[in-house]
A and B are shown apart, each in its own frame.
Chain A
């Protein structure tokens, strides 16, 4: 633990920058989760595994076809979208009317299945995509901005903004928002809420798949990587307010900052414990989160 007078302003600034960079990535991951949660009230415990699949998709596209991760983004989006829709149609939709316990457990089952499928197909080895177009760091005095991280982060922001616009401006997007706010009213307006469910699950998966593609540009890729990210996503969704896209965006950044600054001021080993603490405190003190309703 650093004493007060030992902290250089540059070190602090570096931590803040790092926090923002990881925060924007977290935002994108959490937005997919909050969309699924808001629309159909189901917690996707397999969300981290969708991220992992996105990362591996990007990895294999690079390794086999030489496709730079940035260009494989649309493919990852499509792939994860289809996977999400498939999983919803053939598995999740069937437990929607079932007992709460089944709804909780089914996505756990999918998560275990997917992570071990990855182990089976690709071994538990850690992999890394070597630096391609983007490499190196931008240096601003004492502050280092890793270029891959920055690009990934900006890419996440752009994707998030695209989603906002889609939800607010397009007809389908508005239908999704309507279903999220009041399912019955949406049904009465003639919105096919089953289709919206499929669509939302697909989009949620696609978003986190894209986040995976971005993440794969600098992060280790391995079957179990999803676990922690998935759990962190829950804290973010809670903080932002279940179902609130804007909330998830802001909360993602806050959690990223909390993680890096918490690790900096306290013990780095506890940085994830801090994130979980955020979930508990939010849910105790302000259950609707920052922007939830």
Chain B
């Protein structure tokens, strides 16, 4: 994991400036909505990457944590009028605890077995929420329309504040990921990814570090979930806990380059606009063409460029050197 070079920092700042200016220049709603989705999925991808790309725990169940975050903050808001920002933290903590509870018995699972366990877990959660009367089961939760304000985490007239908030969340996630990747934790995660034996023989407490990875990943995913709830103002198990969402997160992380900090961001930046545009142009008749192309792309990428875009760029960068 290379530390930031001046070149990286300059490019990063330039992109950041562009992103900050973007909503002032582009005022149509559709591009703005796409960007918000890109940021949200990028954050979910970065969160997944910490446990998947770095620690080798390929989870296909991230939507469960996303959903738990959304449900915790929304439930607290609707039932106890808890401020959404506090709900945000609560959601993160609940997700982290659930992550630890499921992560612990799964400490020995790797590869395919872990992947399926993550699907089994996420589906159990979804079925449960679909039938849990406390959270309105399949009907879902509608968030109340509060006065527009930052404190209330609610804006009615424009999407622009949501844009900046999600961008800020994404930056937080990236900072966390960067610190993890360049710290002792990051080295240990990568050792665990290689094999449990190699990690143990170097003195790594594999169970403890795996739990840390899962919990950090869950917390960040839950944050994105709270954002989604506040943005869309309606959540139900079929929208926030879907296997398809989890798979999407893995796909974009792989496309961009799992195991690198910026990989999922690139993946989201490429995949989400394509998915949204094809959905609107080609998918509205329910013909499935958009998803068809999507599935095709995924297959091709797995075969020919599994290291993702970041891997491709690194290879080109190495050749230029």
Contact = CB atoms under 8 A, between A and B. Distances in A.
Interface of A: 37, 41-43, 91, 94-95, 98-106, 108-120, 123-124, 223, 227, 231, 234-235, 238, 267, 269-270, 272-273, 276-277, 279-280, 283-284, 287
B78 interface: no
Given A115-B291, A238-B113, A284-B106, 5 more contacts: A101-B306, A112-B298, A116-B295, A234-B120, A280-B105
Contacts of A37: 112
Nearest to A92: B303
Contacts of A95: 302-303, 306
B109 interface: yes
A43 B120 CA distance: 15
A106 B288 CA distance: 19
> Interface residues of A: mostly helix, strand, loop or mixed?
helix
Contacts of A267: 131
10 contacts: A104-B250, A105-B306, A106-B298, A112-B294, A238-B113, A270-B127, A273-B127, A273-B128, A276-B119, A283-B117
Contacts of B56: 100
B287 A102 contact: no
A235 B304 CA distance: 31
Interface of B: 52, 56, 58, 60, 105-106, 108-109, 111-113, 115-117, 119-121, 123-124, 127-128, 130-131, 243, 247, 250-251, 254, 258, 286-289, 291-292, 294-304, 306-307
Nearest to A90: B303
Contacts of B124: 273, 276-277, 280
Nearest to A108: B247
Given A99-B306, A104-B112, A235 B120 contact: yes
A227 B60 CA distance: 14
A103 B301 CA distance: 11
B105 A105 contact: no
B292 A113 contact: yes
A103 B296 CA distance: 15
Nearest to A228: B123
A269 B127 contact: yes
A43 B112 contact: yes
A104 B298 CA distance: 11
Given A43-B115, A116-B292, A273 B123 contact: yes
Nearest to B122: A276
Contacts of B300: 109
A250 B237 CA distance: 33
Contact of A272 (B52, B60, B115, B123): B123
A98 B300 CA distance: 13
A124 B286 contact: yes
B119 A102 contact: no
B109 A283 contact: yes
Nearest to A100: B111
Interface centre among A109, A227, A231 (most CB of B within 10 A): A109
Given A101-B254, A269-B127, A280 B117 contact: yes
A234 B288 contact: no
